[in-house]
Chains A and B, each alone.
Chain A
């Protein structure tokens, strides 16, 4: 897959993984596993990028005597998902047009 496209898709995938409830690194990887194989270093980069874009915020929570970072989606993050859905609705029209041709 084209690197640029993949990056955009992964961003939204990660946002989706924290959309309904806050999540942490390992859980995000596990949740996304059926859809997309994500390495730890790739996830780190994505989380960092989304944090800088203010699409998520990070908070540290004490868990069994150690700290765990939880990622919480912001309004901007929700907006990104919405935009993505809109963009792909348009794209699917094109896709269907291309796929129809026999």
Chain B
């Protein structure tokens, strides 16, 4: 990849960043490429040493707060006109419920990504309850004078299963955290890339 191709891709992937921020980054990398070429490296070589645009984008995404990206994306290009403000106020009963619905939906989808952990945790809670119930029944029956093995069996089996299942829970949560992080990174990356026009 030469300089031109590198920066064309770079600008495209990061077109959602504030303009001066983007230009500053471009000139920073450009200076380093030039310095490397002055040292005798070829253009291709100097560009290759920077790593892929993708990895740079990923790093910027992980360092930039999502609020900053959202703000930049929905920044108004000009002041609102009088009639636009009037429309905004008049349409209030319409857009407010829509906005609330939108945010609730986003929230629900996010919670859904945690489904795996929620199910695992529920099963774990059920197993622990069953094991406690088994133990209590065993002693309760013992006090009434009957020695029953079944509740004891339930207690032992559920205790064992709950210990094993605790590991499943642990890995489900780890998996979910990873998923969550990836999701956020993806959302940020999409924000950094301007899609309109």
A and B: real partners? Answer: yes
A interface residues with partner B (beta carbon < 8 Å): 24-27, 29, 39-42, 44-45, 64, 66-69
* Complex contacts, B63 vs chain A, CB 8 Å: 45
B residues whose Cβ falls under 8 Å from a Cβ of A: 25, 27-29, 31-32, 34-36, 38, 50-51, 56, 59-60, 63
* Interchain CB contact under 8 A, A69 and B35: no
Which among B28, B31, B51 is the interface contact of A39 at CB below 8 angstroms?
A: B51
Q: Closest approach, in angstroms, between the C-beta of A71 and any C-beta of chain B? A: 11
B36 touches A25 (CB 8 A): no
**Which residues of the partner chain B approach A44 to less than 8 Å between Cβ atoms?**
25, 28
Bound-complex Cα distance A53 to B144 (A): 74
A24 touches B56 (CB 8 A): no
| Alpha-carbon distance A40/B60, docked complex (angstroms) | 12
- Contact indicator A41/B35 (Cβ below 8 Å): no
Known: A41-B60, A45-B63. A26 touches B36 (CB 8 A): yes
Chain A residues, CB < 8 A from B32? 25-26, 29, 40
CA distance A66 to B27 in the complex (A): 11
CB pair B31 A41 closer than 8 Å: no
Tell me, rounded to whole Å, the shortest Cβ–Cβ distance linking A60 to chain B: 9
User: What would 15 A/B residue contacts be, using CB atoms closer than 8 Å?
Assistant: A24-B31, A24-B35, A25-B28, A25-B32, A25-B35, A40-B32, A41-B56, A41-B59, A41-B60, A44-B25, A44-B28, A66-B34, A67-B27, A68-B31, A69-B31
Q: How far is the CA of A72 from the CA of B32 in the complex (A)?
A: 18
Top 5 nearest A-B pairs (CB, nearest first) are A26-B35, A26-B32, A41-B59, A41-B56, A25-B32
* In the bound complex, CA of A40 to CA of B32 (Å): 8
Complex Cα distance A27/B32, Å? 9
CA distance A69 to B46 in the complex (A): 18
Q: Kindly provide the distance from the CB of B19 to the nearest chain A CB, expressed in whole angstroms.
A: 16
| Cβ-closest chain B residue relative to A64 | B38
- CA of A52 to CA of B83, assembled, Å: 40
Partner of B31, one of A26, A42, A45: A26
Q: Which residue of A is nearest B38, CB measured?
A: A64
**Chain A residue at smallest Cβ distance from B28:** A44
B31 surroundings in chain A (CB, below 8 A): 24-26, 66-69
* Residues of the A chain whose Cβ atoms lie less than 8 Å from the Cβ of B36: 26
Give the chain B neighbours of A68 by CB distance below 8 A: 31, 35
